[in-house]
Amino acid sequence: MRSLICGSLAYDNIMQFDGRFSESLLPDQLHKVNVSFLVPTMRREFGGCAGNIAYNLKLLGGEPLIMATVGQDSAPYLDHLRQLNISSECIRVIDTAFTGQCFITTDADSNQITAFHPGAMSFSHQNQVADAGSVKLAIVAPDGRDGMLEHSEQAIGLGIPLIFDPGQGLPMFNGEELKHFIELATYVAVNDYEAELLTNRTGLSLSQIAERVQALVVTRGELGAEIFTGGEKIVIPCVEADTIADPTGCGDAFRAGMLFGLSNDMDWATIGRLSSLMGSIKIAQQGPQNHAPSLAEIEDRFFSAFGYRYR
C-alpha cells in the first residue's frame, strides 16, 4: 500500500567558489556587505525532502505518493518523477510562483552560504490529505508552515499513522506548536541537532517525548542512530560508506527506510539498520537523487552489513 509523503519539492543549485569567504569578507565592514563570488562550476539537482524521500522509497520497492506544491518552472521535475514512475497525482502546480529553490555556494574550506526561496511551498496548505485516498502511513516533512500543521491534523483525523519529521522547518514553530505535533504524531524523527532544539523549545526531555509516541528516532551522523520505543533504547550502528561524497539528502534516505520498514511491519532494529544503510548508500554520491543501486544490491549490502536478510 502507498505511503503519503507531505513535504517539499525543490531545485538545489550548487556552486563552488574556489577561494575562501574569509578572504573576501572584511570583519570590520560586515555592516555594509557588497561582495560577489566567481563560481566556475554549478550544478542543479532535483531535491526537496518529499522528492528525496520518495526517490529512496522507490529504490526499496515501496509505493511513494508525494503531496507537494511546485511552480511554473516545475516541468523538468515532473518529467523526472514520471521517468521514475513516481505518481504526481497529489502534486499541485502554482502558476504564479516558482518551485522552491536552494542556492548553495561552497568555498575552498567547505564553508557554505545558502539562500532558500520557498516559492510554491508557501501554498502547500492548499493540498488536502483526504485527496490521497487509501494510504498505509504518512510522513510530514519540511514544507510550508501552514501545510505542515494542517496535513498532520488531517492525517490523524483520517486515522493514518504519522511520522513527524520537522527537519529544517523546526525553527518555524514555537514550543506549544511543537508539543501539538508530538501529541498528533505516531512517530517522531529528528537528527541530533534537531533533537536538542526540540527539547529546548518544548521543555520536554527525549524520554518524555518518547513516552508520547510509539517511537522517537534520533539520527547521529557517523555515530549511527538511537530509537526510543517501548521504554527501551535501540542503538543502530552507522554502516560504513564506500566513500564520503555529499551528505545532502542522507536524512531523507534514512526516512525512506523508516517508511518502508513500518509499511512492511518490520521490527525496529531492522528498520533502523535498513534506514542506516540507505543513508550510507546515499552519502557516497553527489546530490540527493543520483545514487541508483538495484534492489538486489541493497538486499545484498544489508546482508553483508548485518548477517541476515530483511525480506
Q: Which three cell numbers stand for residue 224?
A: 549511527
Rounded CA-CA distance 281/302 in Å is 11
Q: Which of 24-33, 102-111, 188-197, 253-262 has the lowest mean pLDDT?
A: 24-33
Residue with cell 510530514: 140
CATH of domain 3-9+48-99+121-306: 3.40.1190.20
The domains of the chain are located at 3-9+48-99+121-306
Q: Which of 262, 6, 261, 265 is nearest to 132 (CA)?
A: 6
Encode pLDDT of 203-241 as tens digits.
999 999 999 999 999 999 999 999 999 999 999 999 999
- pLDDT reported for residue 114: 86
Catalytic annotation present for 252: yes
Strands 225-229 and 232-236: what pairing? antiparallel
Choose, from 107, 143, 165, 252, the residue flagged as catalytic.
Answer: 252
Rounded CA-CA distance 23/194 in Å is 31
